[in-house]
Amino acid sequence: MAPDNKRPLPQGERFFTPGATGLRKAVEQRSAVPMTFLFTQVPRWVAPVVLVILLLAGFAVANPIGGVAVLPVIVFIGWLAYLSWPSLGIGGRLLRVAMLTFLVLLVATRFGAF
């Protein structure tokens, strides 16, 4: 019998935000399957490696192709920031806003906005 290579789900009290309604509840429910797949079925190194490669491509290529390479990074970071927002302190929130602002400005420069 082959060993089970699946990783367990992270420890925690709740997967969803307690009392969430509307958009947050819908996003959390729709995110459950991709998050579960990403964190249990895909090797741990895949997501960071892919994101770093895309980010490096965005830095290296100074035209719209570099901007397009950074867009999935913005989407992924924004998605995780949105999901983790209720549990963050002010420092974590500022860091995520700063990171997303930097990435949006990087994409804007690649598309010739500055």
- What are the start-end ranges of the E strands in the chain? none
Question: pLDDT digit string (tens) for 25-84?
Answer: 788 878 888 878 877 888 989 989 999 999 999 999 999 999 999 999 999 999 989 888
20 or 34, greater pLDDT: 34
Q: Which two tokens stand for residue 92?
A: 């974590």
pLDDT at 85: 87
Has this prediction a pTM greater than 0.85?
no
Residue 78, CA distances (Å) to 5, 53, 61, 63, 72 in order: 29, 18, 22, 23, 10
pLDDT at 9: 53
Please determine, for residue 12, whether its predicted confidence score (pLDDT) is greater than 70. Answer: no
